[in-house]
């Protein structure tokens, strides 16, 4: 049994004995991640989604990651209709079209580095980048989906707003402006640490999407180390279509890069729950 394995128990215990101090030295450019030198031009993440460097071991990688195993407000979550409320207002999003953008493989995701502005509930945020997860990290009414995109926005006071949308497989729907322009350059960044430039990118469709569809709103955390809490999530209650071909292209590069679903906001961290069930 996993919970009877001494190596596993030791790893969990070490995460719970870390200092409660939190170091806010995160990198806003690269997915707010812990990074290390990689073989290519882009630093790669020092964590993974599997084994001892996966989510159960994130807190043990760095004392700054302690909230991954102790905080009671963590993401992703299972979003239940009627439980997680819909936002009463929509964000005002402005993302200028670009002739090209930097497209990077961090080893833990691929991200497009762009600029933009999001205004939500009277606060102005700067868009830093958007990146992808396969499978989707959030569940909707306990159902999983093939992929999710996060648009990461940061305000001048350091607060974070993430606009998230889940994809559903479709034989007829397209995402011509969001996914199609990334198809060819995606093949140029199959190796962690690699980067390339995209062709022209248009954001009119995705900004209209977030400006109009119903959005679930909750306060959670970064879904990657250091698991900073207090992050506001706006998760679309409408799915974006993705063709099987496009999904397989992204999956072949991203592999599995989704954190496991966390407890409901305010409830005890699942790692602490598991640790409390160990035989005394």
3-state helix, strand, coil in the chain (%, to 5): 25, 30, 50
Q: What is the pLDDT of residues 38-94, one digit of tens each?
A: 445 799 999 999 999 999 999 999 999 999 999 999 999 999 999 999 999 999 999
- C-alpha span between 238 and 207 (Å, rounded): 14
2 has pLDDT over 70: no
pTM for this model (two decimals): 0.87
- C-alpha span between 245 and 61 (Å, rounded): 36
Q: Which of 272, 265, 243, 247 is nearest to 84 (CA)?
A: 265
- Residues 121/21, Cβ–Cβ less than 8 Å: no
* Domain spans in the chain, listed from the N-terminal domain onward: 85-258
Omega cis (within 30) before 73: no
Cβ contacts of 26 within 8 Å, gap of 6 or more: 32, 33, 226, 228
Q: In this structure, what DSSP letter does residue 264 have?
A: P
Q: What is the pLDDT of residues 26-52, one digit of tens each?
A: 334 444 445 555 445 799 999 999 999
CATH class, domain 85-258, is alpha beta
Q: What is the pLDDT of residues 203-243, one digit of tens each?
A: 999 999 999 999 999 999 999 999 999 999 999 999 999 99
What are 218's strand-pairing partners? 233
- Residues 96/219, Cβ–Cβ less than 8 Å: no
Is the four-CA dihedral 121, 123, 129, 132 of positive or negative sign? negative
Strand boundaries in 199-249, DSSP class E: 215-221, 229-236, 240-242
204 burial level (CB within 10 Å; 0-12, 13-18, 19+) = exposed
- C-alpha span between 270 and 268 (Å, rounded): 6
């Amino acid at each position: 049994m996993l919970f009877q394995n001494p190596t596993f128990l030791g790893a969990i215990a070490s995460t719970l004995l870390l200092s409660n101090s939190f170091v806010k030295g995160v990198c806003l450019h690269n997915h707010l991640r812990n990074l290390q030198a990689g073989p290519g031009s882009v630093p790669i993440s020092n964590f993974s989604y599997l084994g001892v460097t996966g989510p159960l071991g994130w807190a043990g990688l760095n004392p700054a990651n302690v909230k991954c195993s102790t905080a009671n407000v963590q993401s992703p979550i299972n979003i239940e209709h009627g439980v997680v409320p819909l936002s009463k207002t929509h964000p005002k999003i402005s993302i200028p079209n670009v002739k090209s953008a930097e497209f990077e493989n961090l080893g833990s995701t691929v991200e497009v580095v762009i600029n933009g502005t999001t205004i939500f509930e009277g606060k102005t945020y700067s868009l830093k980048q958007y990146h992808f997860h396969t499978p989707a990290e959030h569940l909707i009414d306990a159902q999983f989906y093939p992929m999710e995109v996060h648009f990461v926005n940061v305000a001048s006071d350091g607060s974070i707003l993430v606009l998230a949308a889940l994809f559903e497989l479709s034989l007829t729907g397209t995402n011509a402006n969001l996914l199609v322009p990334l198809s060819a350059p995606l093949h140029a960044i199959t190796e962690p640490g690699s980067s390339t430039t995209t062709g022209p990118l248009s954001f009119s469709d995705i900004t209209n999407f977030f400006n109009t569809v119903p959005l679930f709103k909750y306060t959670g955390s970064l879904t990657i180390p250091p698991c900073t809490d207090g992050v506001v999530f706006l998760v679309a209650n409408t799915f974006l279509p993705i063709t099987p071909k496009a999904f397989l292209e992204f999956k072949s590069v991203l592999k599995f890069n989704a954190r496991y679903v966390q407890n409901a906001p305010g409830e005890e961290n699942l790692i602490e729950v598991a640790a409390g069930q160990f035989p005394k």
